[in-house]
Amino acid sequence: MIGNHCKSQRFIAAASLPHRTWAIALGAMAFASAIAVWSQEPSAVEARLQALYERYPQADADGDGTLTPAEARDYQQKMRGQQALPAEQDIKEQEPTSENRPNLADALKRYPQSDKDGDGILTQEEFREFLPLKRMLEEDRINQTKSDRGRAVLGIPIPPTHTNVQYGPENQQVMNLWIVPASRPTPMIICLKGGVSFASIQYPFQSKDRPLPIVLRDIARALQFLRYEAQKYNIEKTQFAAYGFSAGGNASAWLLLRDDLADPQNPDPVLRESSRLQAAAPFDVQMSMDIFEWHKHNSAFEDKHLKQYLMAWGYDPDMDPESEEILKSRQEVQSWRWISKDDGPICILSPAEADNLPHNPQSTYLFYEACLEAGMHAELYSAVYGTWEKRPDYIEWMIQRLNQN
C-alpha cells in the first residue's frame, strides 16, 4: 500500500514545486499535466479527468458532475491568468495576502483585528494565528452570555473563565479554560498548541530529559485532570474532543487512538480517570511520531534528515534504535499501532504542498487510509493552506460528533 500510494498522482503534482509556490500555480501545473495525457488511451484520459474533477470540482462549468477536456482547458487558462507574480519580484509579494487572495480579503473585512501588525494587509500567517480567536468571536457558534456575545461582535477577545489552572507538578503543566454557563454539564473541546467549553493546554516541550512518550503522557494527564474536576467545571466526562496543529495535531490523534491510560489503582486520583477522546480534528498528523519510521511513510525522507531530527529533538544520534529501551519508547509513539475500529471519529486536515520536504503530507494520506482500513470513521480534507474550497468547520464538526455520542 505504501509504495503505490507514494507514487500516486496527488504526490507527483506537488513534489517538484518550490516550497513557497502559490497554490494557484500548483493547480495550473496539475491541469498542465492533464493535457499531456489527453493524447493517450481514452481510459487514461477519463481517469485523469476524474482525478482532476475530485480535486477541482469548480472546474466543472456546467455542474453535471463530469469534467470534459474542454472544461479542463478553460479552467487551466483561467488559473494561468491568476498565477503568481513574476519570479524576479520579491518573494514576500508572492505570499498569499488580502491583496491577492479573496478569502483573506474577506477575512480582513470581517475581522480587522486579525491584522496583527496593523499595516492594512492580512497575511496568511497572521490569519493562521488569529484562527483560534476567530472561533471564539463567532457568536452563533458559542453558547455564551449576552455580554460575551457582545464582546464577540465587537471583536474583543473573550477572556478565559479560569487561567493557569495547574494540572500537574511541572511549571508548564497549566491550562486556560473557557467554561460556558449552563444548567447541565457541557462537552469539552481541547486545543493542543502547535455551546461547548474550551481548554487551551500548555505542556512541557520534548527534551533529552523529557522524551516524547513522557510529553504525550503530560498531555493525557491534562485530559484526565479535566475529567477528575468535571463536577467543579460542569463538564460532561463522556464528551471530550481535541484538535491541534503539527505537534498538537499528532498529540490529539494519539489521544484518540491510544488505549486508555486510566489506572484504577493509582494513588494519584487524576490518573485513575480515562484518557480517551470521543473525537479529534488534527492538522498535519503523521502516520507515526517515530522518526526511525519516517522513511517508510515519506519518499523524501533521507538518512541525512534522520540525524538532524534526532539532534533537534534531544536524542543521541548514535543511539541503537533497536535496543529494548528505545524500541519500547518508539512503539509508544507509533500512532498507526494504536488504530482500531473502536476509536472515535477523526477529521484530518492536511496541506497538499511541500511533498519534497522530509515532513510532508505523504504520511498523512497513509494515516487516513489506515484509519479507513481499520473501520474508523475518518474524513480527510487536503489543500494548499488558505485555499480550502471544501472543508468543514472543524469546531462545529467536533461539536456534532460529541452530541451524537
Could you state, in order of their start, the residue ranges of all structural domains in the chain? 2-95, 160-404
pLDDT on residue 393: 81
Contact yes or no for 353/14 (Cβ under 8 A) = yes
Contact yes or no for 163/214 (Cβ under 8 A) = no
- CA–chain centroid gap for 85, Å, is 29
CA–CA distance, 10 with 224 (Å, rounded to integer): 39
pLDDT on residue 193: 59
- CA–chain centroid gap for 113, Å, is 24
**Do you know the residue count of the chain?**
405
pLDDT on residue 242: 93
The amino acid sitting at 325 is E
CA–CA distance, 338 with 141 (Å, rounded to integer): 32
Per-10-residue mean pLDDT of the chain, 405 residues long, equals 36 34 41 46 68 76 79 73 45 70 84 82 85 59 46 60 86 83 83 56 55 82 94 92 88 95 96 96 85 68 66 65 78 91 93 59 85 95 62 84 84
Backbone conformation region of residue 125, classed left if phi is above 0, alpha if psi is from -120 to 50, else beta? alpha
SS3 46: helix
Distant-in-sequence, close-in-space partners of 299: CB < 8 Å, separation ≥ 6: 6, 11, 362
- CA–chain centroid gap for 190, Å, is 14
pLDDT on residue 57: 76
**156, 323, 349, 315: which is closest to 243 by C-alpha?**
349
Architecture label for domain 160-404: 3-Layer(aba) Sandwich (3.40)
- The upper half-sphere exposure of residue 356, i.e. CA atoms within 13 Å in the direction of its Cβ, equals 10
Phi first, then psi, for residue 174 (nearest 5°) are -135, 160
Contact yes or no for 362/352 (Cβ under 8 A) = no
pLDDT on residue 9: 34
Phi first, then psi, for residue 60 (nearest 5°) are -75, 90
pLDDT on residue 178: 83
Q: Which residue has the cell 449552563?
A: 182
pLDDT on residue 100: 84
**324, 321, 334: which is closest to 253 by C-alpha?**
334
